[in-house]
Structure formats: C-alpha cells, structure tokens
Chain A
Amino acid sequence: MSGWAMGRALDAESRLWVQGLRAGGSEREATLARLHGLLLRVARHEAHRRSGSLRLRGPELDDLANQAADDALMAIATKVDGFRGQSRFTTWAYKFVLFEVSTKLARHFWRTSTVPLEQQDWDRLPDLLGVQPHQRAEWHELLAALRRAVEEDLTDRQRKVFVAVALNNVPMDVLALELASNRNAIYKTLFDTRRKLRASLAANGYLPQTASRRP
C-alpha cells in the first residue's frame, strides 16, 4: 500500500490548523475566522465558475458563497478528528466547501430550467443518442425496445432517476434535493438502472451480452 493511502505524519501547517480547531477560547475562534476566510475565497471562485447557466450575479452569488463557507466550516469543525493527514489540511477542508457550493447551486437550477423530472420526450431520444435523420428507420426498433424497458422493467424510483439524469440531464444534486436523498444514493440508483436496462436489451438480443467498452 502506498504512503498516500496509509496517510503520513501531519505537515507543520496542517498540525497548526488541527491544534487551533481543537483548542478552546480565542485560539479556536481565531483559527475558525482564518479558515472561514480561506473557505470563502474558494467558495466565491467556485460559485462564479459554476454559476454561468443559472444567471446568479452579485449579492446573490456572494450570499451563496457565504452560506457555503459557513456550512463547510461547521462540517470541518465537527469532522476534524477524522482528518488523517493523508493530504494537507487545507486540501481536505476545501472539498467540503466545494461540496456545499454544489448543493447550494442545485437549489437555483429551476430558475433557468424547465426540463421535466419524470416525463421523457421520447421523440428527442434519437438526438440524444446522436442518431442522424437518415438512420432513424433502422433505429426505430431499438429505441422502442429501450422505451419499453424503461417503462416496464424499472421500479418507479429507477425510472424517475434514469429519465431525469440520463435522459433529461437534470444534475444529480438537483434530483437529490427533489427526492430528499443524496448524491451517492442517486448515483447508485442510476448505476443499477443502467445495468438493468443493458441486461434487458441484451437478453432480448438488441445488444451484445457483455459491454463492448468501459465509460
């Protein structure tokens, strides 16, 4: 096993961060304030980087970044004992604020999008799969088989996740909010659903029995 995977001794800067967060009184407050400043800088940069299609600007975007930094700081303060020193402390901490920015941006998705969560416009499927107009006749049977598998072989939840994420391009964090779930659970459902649909199409002779390529 590599040193990265096993963890390593804390570097001096990381040790100071951990000591400051475990301390009491003014030392802890100063550490929290300094860390919040770093998190806010990352949150602002990330919110700006990802906000283009959401038409979030100015104070609204800054408010989102502040909320992300606040919530990430709380998570980090709670989880600091779980920091193993496998990376620098700040690298470990930044991933929490990035996750918070992702989930908070998801709340704004519907202000600029009207894609349906559960209804698939099956007429758009050929475009989604890159089928050219002159190929549509030869694809007709295969697309009908896919539609039949989606409608008949899936559970309600699998159908909802597959249609929203794979067919309608709804971000997983958005769907997680809608279903009061989380990104990991949505992804696992999507993963299992893809396997189920592929197996169904293969069992009926529309696809080879084993995947021809990896993602």
Chain B
Amino acid sequence: MNHASSLDKLLATDPADAGCDATFALLDVYVEVELAGQDPRSRFPGLAAHLRSCEACQADYQGLLAAVSGLDG
C-alpha cells in the first residue's frame, strides 16, 4: 500500500456525489430500476456515487432492497 492510495481512501470525495437528501428523494426509484433488471448506476450516477461513500444511505438502500424484494410479496 502506498501513501497516496491509503490517504485517498480516507479523504476521497466524488464530485458527482448527490448527497443524502437527493439520494433519499429518489431511493425508491433507484431500487425499482435495479429490481427491474436495469442498471440504476448509469441512470442515477449521482446516487450511485453517494451510495458508494455514505454508509448510512447504503444501509437504507440495502434495507429497501430487502423490504421490496423479500417482504412485499
């Protein structure tokens, strides 16, 4: 591991990152696109960037995926 790669991980930011509020606003759409077999990352790159770096929203996303695919039958 070199210095730059390790510190880049700690200090990384993505200019495309949509933030928590914008991600919450479209999280239901993002999940349904994914469950429809399409690629939500290409449709919503800002949300995809955010979900890569925000553990809290990533947990909500995982929970919503589970709720819709596993509990909503």
Contact A139 B56 (CB under 8 A): no
Interface residues of A in 184-215 (CB under 8 A from B): 184, 187-188, 191, 194-195, 197-198, 201, 206-208, 211-215
From residue B1, how far is it (CB to closest CB) to chain A in Å? 6
**Chain A interface, number of residues (Cβ within 8 angstroms):** 50
From residue A136, how far is it (CB to closest CB) to chain B in Å? 12
Contact A50 B59 (CB under 8 A): yes
Residues A2 and B43 in contact in the complex (CB < 8 Å), given A102-B60, A183-B56, A207-B7: yes
Contact B12 A91 (CB under 8 A): no
Contact B12 A95 (CB under 8 A): no
Interface residues of B in 24-62 (CB under 8 A from A): 24, 26-29, 31-33, 43, 49, 52-57, 59-60
Contact B21 A184 (CB under 8 A): yes
Complex: A128 Cα to B6 Cα, angstroms: 10
Contact A91 B68 (CB under 8 A): yes
Per-position binary interface string of chain A over residues 1-32, scored 1 when its CB falls under 8 Å from any chain B CB and 0 otherwise: 01011000000000000000000000000000
Contact A129 B7 (CB under 8 A): yes
| Cross-chain contact of A45 among B3, B10, B67 (Cβ < 8 A) | B67
List residues of chain A with CB within 8 A of the CB of B3. 139, 142, 206-207
List residues of chain B with CB within 8 A of the CB of A129. 6-7, 10
Q: Quick one: closest B residue to A87, CB to CB?
A: B28
Contact A91 B56 (CB under 8 A): no
Q: Quick one: closest B residue to A187, CB to CB?
A: B20
Complex: A106 Cα to B60 Cα, angstroms: 13
Contact B71 A171 (CB under 8 A): no
Contact B63 A49 (CB under 8 A): yes
From residue B49, how far is it (CB to closest CB) to chain A in Å? 7
10 contacts between A and B (CB under 8 A): A45-B71, A87-B28, A87-B31, A95-B64, A187-B19, A191-B13, A191-B19, A194-B11, A212-B8, A213-B12
Closest 3 CB pairs of A and B: A87-B28, A184-B20, A215-B12
Q: Which residues of A contact B (CB under 8 A)?
A: 2, 4-5, 41-42, 45-46, 49-50, 86-88, 90-92, 94-95, 98-99, 101-102, 128-131, 139, 142, 146, 166, 171-173, 183-184, 187-188, 191, 194-195, 197-198, 201, 206-208, 211-215
Q: Which residues of B contact A (CB under 8 A)?
A: 1, 3-14, 17, 19-21, 24, 26-29, 31-33, 43, 49, 52-57, 59-60, 63-64, 66-68, 71-72
